[in-house]
Each structure stands twice: as structure tokens, then as C-alpha cells.
Amino acid sequence: MASFSLFANTPFEFSLLLKIATFLVLFLIIFFFYNFIVSKNDLTFDNSYAFFIFTIFLSYFLKLTFTYKTLLILLLYILFLRKIYSLRSHRRVLQKLFDSGFWLSVLFILEPFTAMFSILIFTAIYLHQKPIINNLIAPVFGFLAPLIIYFSYCFWFDELYVFTNLFYFDEFYSLFFYSKDNFHWIVGLILALSVISIFLKSPKAFSVNNSFKKSWILLIIHFIVAVFFSLLIPNKNGTELLFLLFPTAVIIANGLEAVNSKFIRNVFIIVFLISAFALPFLL
């Protein structure tokens, strides 16, 4: 019996295992870097709420993530955020700023509308570092590096139109897209919990002038930028909602920490855990 192949000269059984293994590795890397950013930069107290909420949120959009491009974009986004939130430290600042511009540029090539997140770079500079000329131009040079390479590639193969298309956006799509597959319920829940958490945590966060206060401001701005990104991106397919998961998970985790009742926190966790198993059957 002839063997069916997904890849050239690769048996179906092996290619399927390879595909599953690749997805698992990408998911594990994403989870690792997410947890690393949160714990290394003290974005929450010493607990696993943020990791738990991020995992649950990602399960809501699981069927959107089963493409290599989506997982790659999500990984690049996490790598970009790693540099942004690490700016609270004053070590290797110029390298971090260059790297943040570099990762954003690679993201831009895959999804041009992610250029909106450049706001986070300059916000982080203002909050954690000094807005001197070296700090301001380092991410610009980092952003230009992949673009120059990509331009050279397109020029060499006589496909400059591919490069120039990065700077043109299609017409705006209706927000009613999110009514498809009941995404509007999930988005509404995530946004509502995030706003409530901001009001719960902000009084305490703003009462003390420390590094967390600056990180909290950056998280709120990150949340706002991610919301506008999801609303304004021309080509909506649902995957843009994944850009909301990092700030919302961390913000909601902080809101959960602000709740004094252990019973309420446990009920919240149980409900979220049940929702992760129930939603796939409801959507």
C-alpha cells in the first residue's frame, strides 16, 4: 500500500509525529519564556496565578494556534516582551533595546500591524531608563537590521512588491467578526476581568514608588495597545486576540492577589479550570 506523505519522501506516520512534536516544543518554549518573564521581572508575587491564567486563556484559543505561523508569531511576541519588561534592570540596556527593535522587526515582517507595539519600547525607556539619544536610537537600529536583510532578499529575487506591501494595509474589517464562533463572549470576559483587576490592584500599586509601580503602568499601557491592536488590525482572523493574553493574564493574576478572601480565589480558579474543558464543546 502506497504511503501518504505530508512532507517530501516522508511517511505519513513519521510526519504526523514530527508535526505533533514540533507543536509541543513550540508550546513548551512559549510557556517557558512567559513564566520566565513574569518571575524574573517580579510582575506578580510568589505564586503561579499568572501562569495558570495564561494557560487557561490559551486553551480558549487552542484551535487558532494550530499553525506554525501563529505559534511562531506568538513566540516572537513573547521574545519581544522579554526584552521590554527586562528594562527594569540597568544591565545591558542598549543590547536589550536593540534586541527589542530586532524582534519587533521580525514580527513586523510576518504581521506588519505589530508595529503598534513600538509604543511599548519607548514607554519602557521613559519608565525604567533615561530617554537619552543612545537609548532612543538603539531600538531603531535593531528594527532596521532585519528590514534591510529582507529588502535585500526581495531585491535579489526581484520581488520588491512583497517588501513594499508591508507598508500598505487592507480595509478595516467589522468588529462583528468576533461574533463568529462566540469569540465575543471570551473577549468580553477577558476584558471585563482585566478592567476589574486594574481597579483592584492600582490603588496599592500606585501607593508605593518602586519598580513594580513602573511595571504596572507598563502592563496597563501594554493592555491598552493590545486592545487597540485587536480592534484595528485590518485582516482579522482571530489570532490577533492572542496578543491580549500576556498583559491580561498578568493583570488578572494581580487582581486575584488583591482579593483577600481565599475562598473567592479558590472558586475563581475552579471556575476557570472548568471553563477550559467546557468551552471547546460550546464554541
Does 163 have pLDDT greater than 50?
A: yes
Which is it for the CA torsion 47, 222, 107, 59, positive or negative? positive
227 and 213 in contact (C-beta within 8 Å)?
Answer: no
Query: 46-71: buried (b, 16+ CB within 10 Å) or exposed (e) per residue?
Result: eeebbbbbbbbbbbbbeebbeeeebb
Query: In the predicted model, what is the mean pLDDT of the chain?
Result: 86
Helices 118-128, 93-110: crossing angle, 10 deg rounding = 160
Q: What is the pLDDT of residue 174?
A: 54
Q: How confident is the model at residue 278 (pLDDT cuts 50, 70, 90)?
A: confident
Interval 206-228: pLDDT, tens? 988 788 899 999 999 999 999 99
Spatial separation of the C-alpha atoms in residues 218 and 251, rounded to whole Å:
11
Q: What is the mean pLDDT of residues 240-267?
A: 92
Q: What is the mean pLDDT of residues 129-157?
A: 94
- Smallest CA-to-CA distance from 142 within 208, 62, 214, 84 is with 84
Does 253 have pLDDT greater than 60?
A: yes
Within 13 A of 103's CA, how many CA atoms are on the CB side? 21
Q: What is the pLDDT of residue 22?
A: 82
Q: What is the pLDDT of residue 6?
A: 40
Lowest mean pLDDT among 65-74, 115-124, 153-162: 65-74
Give this prediction's pTM: 0.89
- Reduced to 3 states, what is the DSSP secondary structure of residue 79? helix
Spatial separation of the C-alpha atoms in residues 100 and 252, rounded to whole Å:
25
- Smallest CA-to-CA distance from 228 within 101, 116, 153 is with 116
Interval 113-138: pLDDT, tens? 999 999 999 999 999 998 899 999 99
Q: What is the mean pLDDT of residues 86-110?
A: 94
Spatial separation of the C-alpha atoms in residues 185 and 251, rounded to whole Å:
19
- Find the DSSP H helices in 114-159: 118-128, 133-156
244 vs 7, more confident: 244
Does 243 have pLDDT greater than 90?
A: yes
